[in-house]
Each structure stands twice: as C-alpha cells, then as structure tokens.
Amino acid sequence: MTIHREGYKSIAITGILFAVINLISFYFFSGEMPVISWIIFFATLGLLLFMISFFRIPARKLTFNENQVMAPADGKVVVIEEITDEEYFKDRRIQVSVFMSPANVHQNRSGVAGEVVYNQYHKGKYLVAWDPKSSTENERHSVVIRHPKGEILFKQIAGALAKRIINYLQVGQKVAQNEEMGFIKFGSRVDILLPTDAKVNVQLNEKVKGGVSVIATFA
C-alpha cells in the first residue's frame, strides 16, 4: 500500500494537530483527569488513521481488456439507467454511477484506453452524491475518452462532503486503460455514460473496484 500524493499535505497537517493537541492535553489533564487525556488521544488518533486510510492506494492486480470498460473508482453501483445526455453527446446513453463512501479508495482511473476529446469543469451545488440531480447540478468534472469502439464520458461529481475534484487529464492526451484520471476528496460518485448498445456487466448495489471490476462490454 502507498499513500496518494494528494494526501501528503492533509496527513501532515493532521499529524501536526495530533501531536500539538495531545501535548497540550497530557500537560493539562493527565495528572487530575487522565480519562479526558486518553479520550482526546484516541479521538485524534482515529482521525489521523482515517486520513491515512482515506488517501491509501492499495496494491492490486488490474484488469485490462480493450473490449471492456473498467470501473473508474471503488464503491457501490447506485444507478443503472438510460438517460439523455445534454452535456456532450446530446443523445441517449446508458448511465452507470458508482458511489464512493469515505471508506473507499478515492483514486479515479480511466476505464478505457484512448484519446481525451473533451475535458470540462462545471461549478455547481453540493447535493448528497446519491441524489439523482447531483449528476447535472453538483460541482463536477467531465472527461470524454475516444475509444475505437465508441466514446465514453466519465464524470467526477462532488457531494455534500467532497468539495475538491482533481483531474489530471487534458484534451488531446492519450491515456492507457486504468491510468490515473484524478482524485475526489472525501466521498462522492463517478458517472459513466456508455453507448446504448453496450452490455452492462454490473448490478445495482454491487460493490466494484477501480481498475479491476468490469462495468460494461462493447457490442
């Protein structure tokens, strides 16, 4: 397991706060109120361990198949439906949405190999990520990757807690399947917009792993 570079600053700040708070706590409370000192210690230790866990990048064997779309993120499948995309395609698409809880790995990956043909950040609201309106009203970052068998839109969506979306891709860039696409801090969701003739390989409430689980197969 490694720590994602986006977490270095957050973990360092949390570590400093952990040390300072506990030095003060043990100095003032350890003598007369040791229970309070220990409560503060375990609470702050829990926060530090959570931060380390949140930015973890576990070692895993990735799945590669040019005829399949891999999961761009860890989480639970919360939406599988046919929708009309108003942002880029202007036609019908199959939307598969993966919800990431704070306990999930938050690194986002490119589900297919190809060329980035669209990359757009949108300001917006911070509705809870499972709200259907979050796909079109929340802060989000959309990327379209042109694959030989069709274009796929990946949409990183902010939630009630996730208020920083990081995307590393640029228009014209060639990306490999499962290459890092970005990172969303503190829980949210990723939408995948597929061609209507694609075969969806997941079910509602199924847990998926980024770069490992197969979301869909091209027709």
pLDDT in tens, 137-147: 678 899 999 99
Confidence at 185, pLDDT banded by 50, 70, 90: confident
Using a 10 angstrom Cβ sphere, with 0-12 exposed, 13-18 middle and 19 or more buried, the burial of residue 43 is exposed
pTM given for the model: 0.85
pLDDT on residue 130: 58
Please determine, for residue 79, whether its predicted confidence score (pLDDT) is greater than 70.
yes
Per-residue pLDDT tens for 24-52? 988 887 777 888 889 999 999 999 999 99
Confidence at 64, pLDDT banded by 50, 70, 90: very high
Chain-centre distance for alpha carbon 146 = 21
Q: What are phi and psi of 94, to 5 degrees?
A: -90, 125
Which whole number is the average pLDDT over 80-106?
93
Would you call 188 a catalytic residue per the annotation?
A: yes
Residue 203 CB contacts under 8 Å (≥ 6 apart), including other chains: 77, 80
38: amino acid identity, one letter: W
Please determine, for residue 129, whether its predicted confidence score (pLDDT) is greater than 60.
no
Please determine, for residue 63, whether its predicted confidence score (pLDDT) is greater than 90.
yes
DSSP string, 11-72: HHHHHHHHHHHHHHHHHHHTTT-HHHHHHHHHHHHHHHHHHHHHTEE--------TTEEE-S
Secondary structure of residue 197 in the 3-state scheme: coil
Catalytic residue selected from 25, 110, 134, 188: 188
Please determine, for residue 102, whether its predicted confidence score (pLDDT) is greater than 90.
no
| Cα separation, 50 vs 61, whole angstroms | 24
Please determine, for residue 58, whether its predicted confidence score (pLDDT) is greater than 60.
yes
Secondary structure of residue 128 in the 3-state scheme: coil
